[in-house]
Amino acid sequence: MNHPNDTFSTALLEQIRRRSGDRERRILFRGATIVSMDPSLGVLEHGDLLVEGTTIAAIGPDLSQSPSADGAVVVDATGTVLTPGFVDTHRHAWEAQLRRIMPDVDDLAGYVAATLAGYATVYRPQDMYTGTKLAALTAIDGGITTLLDFSHNSRTAEHSDAAIHALTDTGIRGVHASMGPHFGAWDQQWPGDLTRLRERYFSSDDQLLTLRLAALATDEIAGPSLAYGPRLRRVADALGIGVAVDAVIGASSSEAVLRWAREGVLGADVTLIHSTGLTGEAWRAMADTGTTVALAPTSDSQIGLDTAIPAVDEALAVGIRPGLSVDVEVALASDMFTQMRALHTIQRMRAVNGSYGSESGEAAARIGTRDVLDFATLQGARTIGLGDITGSLTPGKKADLLVIQAEDINNMPLNDPIGTVVLGADARNISAVLIDGEPRKWGGRVLGTDIGDLRGQVRASRDHLVNAATRSANAEASRFRQGPAVPPGSSM
């Protein structure tokens, strides 16, 4: 018996690639279990999916005789599950070459000191490119077809350009969320440089990349210039772009949310990231204004942000269905499977624990695997303003999809397709990833990059950053030991 990935052969890939860019090219996936995540379509236990150009053209139990499938390249998807691509609503992609460099970091202050006040200050544009490219390719390998890159190390215009070029070169559907750096020397070109970026890279509404303004919730970490409020909202409004706000945690962020509501700067085009430890009043203000929420399950729990409990119950209680995100690879896992499983486990543990020994038995209802897959796909897309474009297998939406092997050793036999995707599958089971109708992973292999060359670039960048940060820290320590300079002729 052939391995399932043999179906996704080089010869078949070449048939598809020969008509790359042709908006009339058709690819017909036959005989799959289709998990559409479209409430009106649900799950098809045995179905076909037709891609035409960049778009999902049709879904049905048998499309082989449909005139719309004439001339299609046919892919036998028997024994697979087709799902929408995952949507990562918040990742600091530029940090990827520093993966797991501090796996047991204890708190936000430790992360900020080592990464944002340390390594970030010695990044060159080429390091921005390398880290962002690595993160995006890893995302594709793990089935993430859309990535919001919270690029908060925009030291120069060239740093921003490099991050955008990296997203473009990988073929991922990306959101470049631009913010100035927290610490160290930089050109102070942000947020003014957003106008240039908008005109140069984001002039079309029909492209893979979109632009957002990124900011922090409060001025506690990096000062008032990076904190969200009316000034930055005016910048975003003038450019017609959305806003992503990070580090929304605790009492000070709760106060900020209520202030933003009074100031009229919340809304559906604003995403609040983490939202951990917020007050009920703040959550009600977010719901009333239609503001969206991006959770970071492993970040909140592993690093320990405020309560360290991902705020899924708080979001659902006010009618907000959140998106999910990876956050920082310096200490966390890179994939969406981990985020879904962590949230699923933590929420259900919390729900059961909340009713244990309680006479009333009042506790949040337990979420299910369909909920977390919804958060990782459709709600993630909606959260970052792309809900009409991606996030579900819906005719008319862009063809961002995964082909997951359901009969591999870790998944067989297929009993519940959603449970298999959420609790069983991982990157090795993804035979194919399509983004905008183009294969980006095929036969279990990420396309369009030489892994050996990439490995050399990643190691060279990592070595530069570690060495340069060490030299900078040593120089700073030396200046501190020497004490203040004493002017000639003065006495102490």
Per the CB < 8 A criterion, the answer to whether 246 and 213 are in contact is no
Q: Is residue 473 part of a domain?
A: no
Tell whether 55 and 174 lie within a shared domain: no
Per the CB < 8 A criterion, the answer to whether 324 and 336 are in contact is yes
pLDDT for res 480: 55
pLDDT for res 484: 57
Per the CB < 8 A criterion, the answer to whether 257 and 266 are in contact is yes
Contacts of residue 279, Cβ cutoff 8 Å, sequence gap at least 6: 251, 254
Bridge partners of 272? 245, 293
Which of 352, 383, 414 terminates a domain? The answer is 383
Contacts of residue 233, Cβ cutoff 8 Å, sequence gap at least 6: 243, 263, 265
Tell whether 407 and 431 lie within a shared domain: yes
Question: Cα–Cα distance between 352 and 349 in angstroms, integer?
Answer: 5
Q: Is residue 463 part of a domain?
A: no
Per the CB < 8 A criterion, the answer to whether 87 and 129 are in contact is no
Burial of residue 472 (number of CB atoms within 10 Å: 0-12, 13-18, 19+): middle
pLDDT for res 478: 62
Which of 332, 354, 383 terminates a domain? The answer is 383
Range of the domain at 9: 4-84+392-446
Tell whether 156 and 67 lie within a shared domain: no
Tell whether 406 and 366 lie within a shared domain: no
Q: Is residue 461 part of a domain?
A: no
Q: Is residue 182 part of a domain?
A: yes
What parts of the chain have a pLDDT lower than 70? 1-6, 357-362, 476-492
Per the CB < 8 A criterion, the answer to whether 402 and 435 are in contact is no
Tell whether 63 and 134 lie within a shared domain: no
pLDDT for res 338: 98
Question: Cα–Cα distance between 36 and 58 in angstroms, integer?
Answer: 12
Q: Is residue 452 part of a domain?
A: no
Q: Is residue 492 part of a domain?
A: no
Burial of residue 60 (number of CB atoms within 10 Å: 0-12, 13-18, 19+): middle
The CATH number given to whatever domain includes residue 14 is 2.30.40.10
Tell whether 298 and 437 lie within a shared domain: no
Nearest in space to 314 (alpha carbons), one of 338, 340, 289, 279:
279
pLDDT for res 492: 32
pLDDT for res 23: 87
Q: Is residue 465 part of a domain?
A: no
pLDDT for res 298: 97
The residue behind tokens 């695997």 is 369
Nearest in space to 201 (alpha carbons), one of 175, 179, 226:
175
Tell whether 349 and 413 lie within a shared domain: no
Question: Cα–Cα distance between 84 and 341 in angstroms, integer?
Answer: 17
Tell whether 342 and 400 lie within a shared domain: no
DSSP-assigned states of every residue in 151-194 = E----SHHHHHHHHHHHHHHT-EEEEEE---SSS-----TTTHH
pLDDT for res 357: 62
Per the CB < 8 A criterion, the answer to whether 93 and 163 are in contact is yes
Q: Is residue 483 part of a domain?
A: no
Tell whether 244 and 343 lie within a shared domain: yes
Tell whether 232 and 102 lie within a shared domain: yes
Tell whether 146 and 267 lie within a shared domain: yes
The residue behind tokens 């907000």 is 320
163: tokens are: 């991050």
Q: How many domains is the chain built from? A: 2
Buried b / exposed e across 424-456, counting CB within 10 Å, b at 16+? Answer: bbebebbbbbbbbbbbbbbbbebbeeeeeeeee
Pairing of strands 401-405, 430-435: antiparallel
Q: How far apart are the first and last CA of the chain?
A: 86
